């Protein structure tokens, strides 16, 4: 099965004509295609619950906080901006997954809590979804997992290093 898009094949063919290490491009495109396949499968698994991955993460975080969380803490733990969180909360509240509650001591403070629907959805999906994610790595043995982790770390490091074309002219 070829997982590469037509655009990737075109870029690889051009690299071959230019002797520009087409095997490196192919590996990078295979990695990107694999990540896209995982994202698409994740989206398909969550769609019947009216959830995206971002919305699921919010439910997952709240599921483990029975007293609720302040929006700024929720945004911090989800690794998103407060503006992004506001949009997610609006949709989740509209769909009946959560409530915004004013604090007892300070009415200006808000705590986000799950509704019964949100709690039930989070409870059922948390276990299933984490097991599914974990299952993606079950074909690998322990040594292969260590090797993959080390290889991905090398790629992340290379992606963060500026290259010659990234330098701004002086």
Give the pLDDT of residue 170. Answer: 42
Contact by Cβ (8 Å): 73, 79? no
pLDDT digits (tens, 9 = 90+) for 82-102: 999 999 999 999 999 999 998
Task: Of 26-30, 43-47, 159-163, give the range with the top mean pLDDT.
Answer: 43-47
Domain 50-130 CATH (choose: 3.30.1280.10, 3.40.50.300, 3.90.1200.10, 1.10.10.10): 1.10.10.10
Residue 24 has pLDDT above 60, yes or no: yes
Query: In the chain, what are the domain boundaries?
Result: 1-49, 50-130
């Amino acid at each position: 099965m070829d997982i590469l898009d037509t655009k990737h094949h075109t870029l690889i063919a051009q690299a071959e004509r230019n002797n520009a290490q087409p095997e490196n491009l192919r590996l990078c495109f295979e990695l990107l295609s694999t990540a896209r396949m995982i994202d698409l499968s994740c989206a398909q698994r969550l769609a019947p619950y009216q959830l995206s991955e971002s919305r699921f993460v919010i439910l997952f975080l709240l599921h483990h906080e029975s007293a609720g969380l302040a929006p700024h803490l929720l945004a911090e733990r989800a690794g998103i901006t407060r503006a992004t969180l506001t949009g997610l909360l609006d949709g989740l509240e509209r769909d009946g997954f959560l409530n915004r509650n004013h604090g007892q001591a300070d009415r200006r403070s808000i705590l986000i809590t799950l509704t019964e629907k949100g709690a039930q959805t989070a409870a059922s999906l948390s276990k299933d979804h984490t097991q599914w994610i974990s299952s993606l790595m079950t074909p690998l043995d322990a040594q292969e997992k260590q090797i993959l982790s080390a290889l991905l770390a090398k790629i992340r490091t290379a992606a963060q290093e500026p290259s010659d074309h990234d330098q701004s002219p002086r």
